[in-house]
Structures are given as structure tokens and as C-alpha cells.
Amino acid sequence: GAGVSQSPRYKVAKRGQDVALRCDPISGHVSLFWYQQALGQGPEFLTYFQNEAQLDKSGLPSDRFFAERPEGSVSTLKIQRTQQEDSAVYLCASSPGVDQPQHFGDGTRLSIL
Amino acid sequence: RKEVEQDPGPFNVPEGATVAFNCTYSNSASQSFFWYRQDCRKEPKLLMSVYSSGNEDGRFTAQLNRASQYISLLIRDSKLSDSATYLCVVTRGGGGNKLTFGTGTQLKVEL
């Protein structure tokens, strides 16, 4: 099925390295969201795109986090100079438009050593 | 204080039992309300929306009390397959309708 696809599924990096996480939303979905889920917690909002425009980045924890969606489809979440506290599952969700249900990908499990 | 509060559990119940989860939210501007289900190492999946009039889907009943800012989920005749984490979720509307999640309540249904 053509659900939300995220890659890689698992990523291990050393502290200080840069990482890039990819999200392929459902085709035609206008809205795209990134969430961060720490162990034992619910997902927390990071950022939101409507097409290629990043309309809300209020949840990004620091300026080390950067997201883009240049052509309004695939999105990349980049984390620079990773820290141990960045270890979490990063979830991507897409929806056909505002006020429509969000469909989640399987997530990328990031471990920083 | 978190915007959405839930008892983390775990709730351990025997098969066939009725179990209820509660959730409170702090932002009175919240507009939409949901219960999501998340299995271990899986993505959250929408279980049901929650309305003030209450709504039922099979063995699941959800209720919203706007005055008390309180949301509930009732599961009747619980099955082993209901074992999961149940996430209470609210949105404020506008700005893409980002979801605000509670910590989740873990349910374990046992034989």
C-alpha cells in the first residue's frame, strides 16, 4: 500500500555527527508533520509543512534541527552535531489537507552513542 | 504541567473485562479530540474521534466533557489484541492542526 514511508528505519550515529531522516508522504497529501517520540512518552510536534512552505517550526528543540520539503513532496529532517538527548523515534505524518486525519509512517529510531 | 495528562498505567486486566481510561487537557481553546492506539515499536493509529455527544464504535465508547476538559475511553469485553498504548490527543485547530499527545496509557489484557 502507498502509506507514509520513512527511511532509514534505524539509525545509529556517534555524538557530534550530522544525520538526515527522510519522509515520503502519501501521494497528493498537502500537509506534512514531523514529531519526536522519546521512550515512554507521547509524540511531540516538531514542525509542519503545507506543500513546500514550512508554516510552523515552533517545536524544533534547537537550531541544530532543520527540516525542508523543497518540492512539496518528500521531506528531510536534518539534525546537526547530534547529542545523546536527540535519541528518539522520529515520526512523519501526512494528511490530504487542513483538518484531515493524519497518517503516520513507521518512524526512524535514532540512537546517538 | 503537560497540556494533555494521562495516567501512564499499566492497566493489567483479564480478558473480557471493561476498562476505562481518562485524560484531561489544559487548553480550553482545544478544538478536536481523538484517541490513538500505538502498538509496541509501531506508529500511532487513529482509533476514534471524540465528540461531546459521545460516540461508540463497537466495543469502544469515547466521551468528551468540555466544561471539565476531560476525555474518556471505555473498552468493553476486552480482547488480548487490545493490548497497546492508548494516546489521548487534542488539536487547537488552525496552523495545520498539529496534534498534541498525552503520554499514553498502557493496557495489558491477560488470559
- Which residues of B touch chain A, with CB atoms under 8 Å apart? 4, 8, 32, 42-46, 87, 93, 95-104
Report the pLDDT value the prediction gives residue B66, as an integer from 0 to 100: 92
pLDDT > 70 in chain B, percent: 96
Question: In which band, very low, low, confident or very high, does the pLDDT at A104 lie, cut at 50, 70 and 90?
Answer: very high
Across all residues in chain A, what is the average pLDDT? 95
Using one digit for the tens of pLDDT, what is the confidence trace for A6-15?
Answer: 999 999 999 9
Query: What local confidence, expressed as pLDDT, does residue B107 receive?
Result: 97
Q: Which residues contact A107 (CB under 8 A, 6 or more apart)?
A: A6, A9, A37, A89, A90, A91, A92, B43
* A and B: number of Cβ contacts within 8 A: 55
Nearest residue of B to residue A4 by CA position?
A: B43
Residue A45 — pLDDT band, cuts 50, 70, 90?
very high
Instruction: Tally Cβ neighbours within 10 Å of residue A93.
Output: 26
A110 CA: distance to closest CA in chain B (Å): 13
Residue B23 has pLDDT above 70, yes or no: yes
Task: Give, in degrees to the nearest 5, the angle at Cα A42 between A102 and A71.
Answer: 40
> Which candidate, B73, B78, B63, places its Cα nearest to that of B111?
B78
**Beta-carbon separation of B96 and A98 below 8 A:** yes
Q: What does the pLDDT average to over A25-49?
A: 96
Q: Report the chain A residue with the minimal C-alpha distance to residue B5.
A: A42
What pLDDT is recorded for position A99? 75
The per-residue pLDDT for A68 is 98
> What is the pLDDT of chain B when averaged over all its residues?
93
Residue B14 in contact with residue B110, Cβ under 8 Å?
A: yes
Q: What's residue B51's pLDDT?
A: 87
Checking if the pLDDT of B27 tops 80, the result is: yes
Which pLDDT score, from 0 to 100, does residue A1 have?
55
Q: List strand residue ranges (DSSP E) for A1-113, in order.
A: 5-7, 10-13, 19-24, 31-37, 44-50, 53-56, 65-68, 75-79, 88-95, 103-104, 108-112
Q: Determine the residue among B99, B100, B103, B105 to mutate to test chain A binding: the one whose Cβ has the most chain A Cβ atoms within 10 Å.
A: B99
The pLDDT value recorded for residue A88 is 98
pLDDT higher than threshold 90 for residue B2: no
* Three state DSSP letters for chain B: CCCEEECCCCEEEECCCCEEEEEEECCCCCCEEEEEEECCCCCCEEEEECCCCCEEECCEEEEEECCCCEEEEEECCCCHHHCEEEEEEEECCCCCCCEEECCCEEEEEEC
Please indicate whether, in this complex, the C-beta atoms of A42 and B4 are within 8 angstroms of each other: yes
Residues of chain A found within 8 Å of residue B100, distances taken between Cβ atoms: 45
Chain B, nearest residue to A38 by Cα: B103
| Mean pLDDT of the A83-111 span | 94
> pLDDT (tens digit, 9 = 90+) per residue, B50-78?
988 889 999 999 999 999 999 999 999 99
Query: Euclidean distance between the first and final Cα of chain B, in Å?
Result: 36
Average of pLDDT values for B29-47?
93
Band of residue B86 on the pLDDT scale cut at 50, 70, 90 = very high
Q: Which residue of B has its CA nearest to A42?
A: B103
* Amino acid A36: pLDDT: 98
